[in-house]
Amino acid sequence: MIRHRLTEARRVLQPAARLRDQAEALADYLNVGDTVLDVGCGTGRASRVAASVAGAVVGVDLSSQMIAKARELAIGIGNVRFDVGDVDRLPFDDGAFTAVLCSNAFHHYPDPQRAVAEMTRALAPGGRLVVGDACSDLTAARIADRILRLVEPGHVRLYRAAELGAFLQQRSRPGSRPRSRGGRPQAA
């Protein structure tokens, strides 16, 4: 039992490496020529990975400090730019992007349904919304979630994989194919 709990805790508490991998995992869903929006881009790692695949990438983040750092780290990459913006009111036209990424940021959004609605609004018909985030399916993750809600400013909550999938499905367009991979990004 103790061994099981330790294994479970290790799986949750090794996120640094897993989150580094996440940018690459999200890029699997991109096509050459995509115009990509990376929401909650932070310092822009997923945006930079996306820029190596896609035609053009815009990273957007609530924090102007994150955007300043993202711009610095992307110097020399010609097809990526960064803007300050809130997922609740994305400063982009309807259908402006063929793919929207959200890497390790969904648990920060106070109104998840609104966030998905906004990200979907920014998608062109036939576009892909790809969300990768930690989930609370494991007991250790639920414990970590409770602690993070107390100690980490901006941490709203982790969701179970099925809840995350349901948010995406509620907004998916007729004919779309929501997909889920355990511990991996979800695409709709």
Ligand X SMILES: C[S@@+](CC[C@H](N)C(=O)[O-])C[C@H]1O[C@@H](n2cnc3c(N)ncnc32)[C@H](O)[C@@H]1O
Residues that bind ligand X (CB under 6 A): 40-42, 45-46, 61-63, 66, 86-88, 103-105, 108-109, 154
Minimum CB–partner distance for residue 63 and ligand X (Å):
4
Question: For ligand X, which is the closer residue by CB, 34 or 61?
Answer: 61
Choose between 39 and 176: whose C-beta lies nearer to ligand X.
39
Place of tokens 């190596």: 52
> Which residue is associated with the tokens 């990273």?
59
Burial class (CB in 10 A: 0-12, 13-18, 19+), 2: exposed
Instruction: Name the token pair of 149.
Output: 């809600």
The least distance separating ligand X from the CB of residue 175, rounded to whole angstroms, comes to 29
- Assess contact for 130 and 187: CB atoms under 8 A: yes
- Rank residues 61 and 145 by Cβ distance to ligand X and give the closer one: 61
Say if CB 43 and CB 72 are below 8 A apart: no
CB of residue 131 to ligand X, shortest distance in Å: 11
**Min CB(6)–ligand X separation in Å:** 25
Nearest residue to ligand X, by Cβ distance, number only: 42
Give the residue with the Cβ less far from ligand X, 66 or 188: 66
Pairing of strands 179-180, 186-187: antiparallel
Tokens 């602690």 sit on residue: 147
